[in-house]
A and B are shown apart, each in its own frame.
Chain A
Amino acid sequence: MIELNRNYNLGQTDREPVKIKIVGIGGAGSNALDRIVLDGIESAEIVAINTDVQSLTSSVATQKVQLGRSATRGLGAGGDPEVGLAAAEEAVDEIRQVLEGAEMVFICVGLGGGTGSGSAPMIANIAKEHGALTIVIATMPFAFEGRRRGQQADDALAALQEAADAVICFENDKMGDAVAPHAGVHQAFAAADQTISQSVRAIFDLFTRQGIISIGFDDLVTALRNNNARCLFGYGEADGDNRSHESLERALKNPLMNRGRMLAETHNLLVNVVGGTSMTLNEVQILMEELGRHVSDSTRILFGTAVDPRLAGRMCVTLVSSVAADDAATGKEPVKLNYIAPPRTHTELKAQPAPVEKTSKPKRKVEAGDQKPLLASQDEEEKPAAEVELPVVRPKPAPIKPLGVKPPAPEPPAPAAPPVAKVPQERQESLAFEPLNRGRFEKSEPTIVNGQDLDVPTFMRRNIKIK
Chain B
Amino acid sequence: MGRDNIIVGLEIGTSKICVVVGESKPDGSVKILGVGQAPSRGVRKGEIVDFDTAGKCVREAIADAEEKSDVMIESVYVGITGSHISSFNNRGVVQLPEDQDEIGEEDCENVRTNAKEVSIPSQNFFLHTILQHYYVDGQDGVLNPVGMMGGKLEADFHVIHGIGNRVKNAIRCIREIPLEVEDVVFNPLAAAQVVLTANQKNQGALMIDIGGGTTDFILYVDGAVKQSGVLAVGGDHITNDISMGLRIPMAKAEKLKVEEGSVILGNCLPGETVSLKDESGFAGKEIERETLNTIIHMRMRESLELLKRELDREAFIDFIGAGIFITGGCSLLKGIDHLAGEIFGMPVHVAHAQSMSGLTSAVENPQLATAIGLIKYAQAVETDRPAGWFGKFKRKLPMFFGGQR
Q: Is B59 an interface residue (CB 8 A)?
A: no
Q: Is B232 an interface residue (CB 8 A)?
A: yes
B291 surroundings in chain A (CB, below 8 A): 466-467
Assign chain A's interface to a size class.
20 to 34
Question: Which among B45, B49, B295 is the interface contact of A447 at CB below 8 angstroms?
Answer: B45
B309 CB to closest chain A CB, in angstroms? Answer: 8
Segment among B100-108, B239-247, B276-284 that sits at the interface with chain A: B239-247
Query: 0/1 per residue, A105-146, Cβ < 8 Å to B?
Result: 000000000000000000000000000000000000000000
Is A460 within 8 A of B244, CB to CB? yes
A440 closest partner in B (C-beta): B240
B245 surroundings in chain A (CB, below 8 A): 457, 459-460, 466
Segment among B170-178, B298-306, B359-367 that sits at the interface with chain A: B298-306
B30 CB to closest chain A CB, in angstroms? Answer: 34
Question: Which among A439, A449, A462, A464 is the interface contact of B244 at CB below 8 angstroms?
Answer: A439
B87 CB to closest chain A CB, in angstroms? Answer: 17
Cα-based distance from A439 to B298 in the complex (angstroms): 17
B242 CB to closest chain A CB, in angstroms? Answer: 9
Q: Is B183 an interface residue (CB 8 A)?
A: no
Cα-based distance from A457 to B236 in the complex (angstroms): 11
Q: Is A82 an interface residue (CB 8 A)?
A: no
Q: Is B250 an interface residue (CB 8 A)?
A: yes
Question: Which among A437, A449, A466 is the interface contact of B306 at CB below 8 angstroms?
Answer: A449
Interface residues of A in 411-467 (CB under 8 A from B): 437-441, 444-445, 447, 449, 454-455, 457-460, 462, 464, 466-467
Question: Which among B49, B83, B231, B298 is the interface contact of A458 at CB below 8 angstroms?
Answer: B298
Q: Is B382 an interface residue (CB 8 A)?
A: no
Interface residues of B in 19-65 (CB under 8 A from A): 44-45, 49
Q: Is B237 an interface residue (CB 8 A)?
A: yes
Is A455 within 8 A of B237, CB to CB? yes
Cα-based distance from A235 to B380 in the complex (angstroms): 57
Q: Is A181 an interface residue (CB 8 A)?
A: yes
Question: Which among A181, A440, A445, A457 is the interface contact of B295 at CB below 8 angstroms?
Answer: A457
Question: Which among B49, B247, B288, B298 is the interface contact of A462 at CB below 8 angstroms?
Answer: B298
Is A464 within 8 A of B240, CB to CB? no
Question: Which among A444, A454, A459 is the interface contact of B233 at CB below 8 angstroms?
Answer: A454
Cα-based distance from A181 to B243 in the complex (angstroms): 15
A166 CB to closest chain B CB, in angstroms? Answer: 34
Question: Which among A437, A454, A466 is the interface contact of B246 at CB below 8 angstroms?
Answer: A466
Is A447 within 8 A of B44, CB to CB? no
B188 CB to closest chain A CB, in angstroms? Answer: 18
Is B244 within 8 A of A457, CB to CB? yes
Q: Is B294 an interface residue (CB 8 A)?
A: yes
Cα-based distance from A252 to B84 in the complex (angstroms): 24
Cα-based distance from A240 to B346 in the complex (angstroms): 54
Is B298 within 8 A of A454, CB to CB? no
Cα-based distance from A372 to B214 in the complex (angstroms): 64
Number of B residues contacting the other chain (C-beta, 8 Å)? Answer: 26
B405 CB to closest chain A CB, in angstroms? Answer: 28
A464 surroundings in chain B (CB, below 8 A): 294, 298
Is A444 within 8 A of B241, CB to CB? no
Is B298 within 8 A of A440, CB to CB? no
A156 CB to closest chain B CB, in angstroms? Answer: 35
Is A458 within 8 A of B240, CB to CB? no
A454 surroundings in chain B (CB, below 8 A): 232-233, 237, 302, 306
Question: Which among A181, A447, A457 is the interface contact of B240 at CB below 8 angstroms?
Answer: A457
B250 surroundings in chain A (CB, below 8 A): 439-440
B45 closest partner in A (C-beta): A444
B86 CB to closest chain A CB, in angstroms? Answer: 13
Is B241 within 8 A of A458, CB to CB? yes
Question: Which among A441, A457, A467 is the interface contact of B288 at CB below 8 angstroms?
Answer: A467
A440 surroundings in chain B (CB, below 8 A): 236, 240, 243, 250
A251 CB to closest chain B CB, in angstroms? Answer: 23
Cα-based distance from A286 to B95 in the complex (angstroms): 45
Query: 0/1 per residue, B158-180, Cβ < 8 Å to A?
Result: 00000000000000000000000
A438 closest partner in B (C-beta): B240
B306 closest partner in A (C-beta): A449
Is A459 within 8 A of B298, CB to CB? yes
B295 closest partner in A (C-beta): A459
B368 CB to closest chain A CB, in angstroms? Answer: 24
Cα-based distance from A458 to B233 in the complex (angstroms): 11
Cα-based distance from A441 to B298 in the complex (angstroms): 18
A449 surroundings in chain B (CB, below 8 A): 231, 306
B270 CB to closest chain A CB, in angstroms? Answer: 13
Is A437 within 8 A of B244, CB to CB? yes
Cα-based distance from A440 to B298 in the complex (angstroms): 19
Cα-based distance from A289 to B243 in the complex (angstroms): 34
Cα-based distance from A437 to B288 in the complex (angstroms): 23
Question: Which among B83, B232, B241 is the interface contact of A459 at CB below 8 angstroms?
Answer: B241
The interface of chain A, by Cβ under 8 A from chain B, is 181, 437-441, 444-445, 447, 449, 454-455, 457-460, 462, 464, 466-467
Q: List 13 A-B contacts (CB under 8 A).
A: A440-B243, A440-B250, A441-B237, A444-B45, A447-B83, A449-B231, A454-B233, A454-B306, A455-B237, A458-B299, A458-B301, A459-B294, A466-B295
Can you add 11 more A-B contacts, CB < 8 Å, to A440-B250, A459-B299?
A: A439-B241, A441-B240, A444-B44, A454-B233, A454-B237, A457-B245, A457-B295, A458-B302, A459-B295, A464-B294, A467-B291
The interface of chain B, by Cβ under 8 A from chain A, is 44-45, 49, 83, 231-233, 236-237, 240-241, 243-247, 250, 288, 291, 294-295, 298-299, 301-302, 306
Q: What are the 6 closest A-B residue pairs judged by CB atoms, nearest first?
A: A457-B241, A458-B298, A439-B240, A447-B232, A444-B44, A466-B245
